Amino acid sequence: MQENKTELNVSIQVLEKMAQIAACEIEGVTGLSKRAIDIKGSFKSKSVFKGVRAENINGAIEITVYICVAKGVKVREVASAVQTNVKDKIQTMTGTVVTKVNVFVADISIPDEEAQEA
């Protein structure tokens, strides 16, 4: 009997979009950073920064996410939840191993009313 094997190839841009969606699902995340916080990485890419970087390293995926969090949240818990959710969603949807999810807190969102009082 002949086995039918299929192979799935997902572009880096699609992986980055999946990671964006998964990160924003976490309570306490108000969005993703629109600017790179590492100078070295910002010079490599000529495209608009999306708050997520995905790299395919020997068939495994490494993801870096730059999040903005709400004022008053427990940053460690939010970052841990982002790591878990991003890894689980990408592995489930693509079947590709995610070896590392780095989370950087790039900003804290302060409501407009509080920002004007300061």
If pLDDT is split at 50, 70 and 90, which confidence band does 75 have? Answer: very high
Q: Where are the domains of the chain?
A: 12-117
The predicted structure's pLDDT at residue 110 = 86
Residue 96 DSSP SS3: coil
Dig out the tokens for 115 from the structure. 């920002």
Q: Which fold has domain 12-117?
A: Alpha-Beta Plaits (3.30.70)
For the stretch 65-74, pLDDT in tens is 999 999 999 9
Write down the mean pLDDT value for the chain: 85
Above 90 in pLDDT, residue 7?
no
CA 25 to chain centre: 11
For the stretch 21-68, pLDDT in tens is 999 999 999 999 876 555 555 555 555 568 999 998 888 899 999 999
Dig out the tokens for 6 from the structure. 């299929």
